[in-house]
Amino acid sequence: MDFIRCEQGVMLIAAIILLFFVSLFLFTLVSWHDSLQRTYDSLATYYENETARIMKQDG
């Protein structure tokens, strides 16, 4: 227990730094996923519009 009493805030600083890096990693992961999902959505919209255009031409 003496180690815990004599740490003088080192564990708190280490926990804050770890929290920062974990938060940064999660933010990067969520941003990447959101960007990928937007790309898929735009491709789907493009192909839907092209399919509707082709169907109007043939009919």
pLDDT per residue as tens digits for the range 43-53: 999 999 999 99
Enumerate the H helices of 1-59 as residue ranges. 2-5, 10-58
Mean pLDDT of the chain: 89
- For residue 30, how far is the Cα from the chain centroid? 1
What single DSSP character describes residue 59? -
Distance (Å) of CA 23 to CA 14, 36, 51: 14, 20, 42
- Say how far apart CA 59 and CA 48 lie, in whole Å: 17
Looking at residues 8-25, what average pLDDT do you find? 91
How many residues does this entry show for the chain? 59
Looking at residues 13-40, what average pLDDT do you find? 96
Q: How confident is the model at residue 9 (pLDDT cuts 50, 70, 90)?
A: confident
pLDDT of 1 over the 60 cut: no
pTM value is 0.64
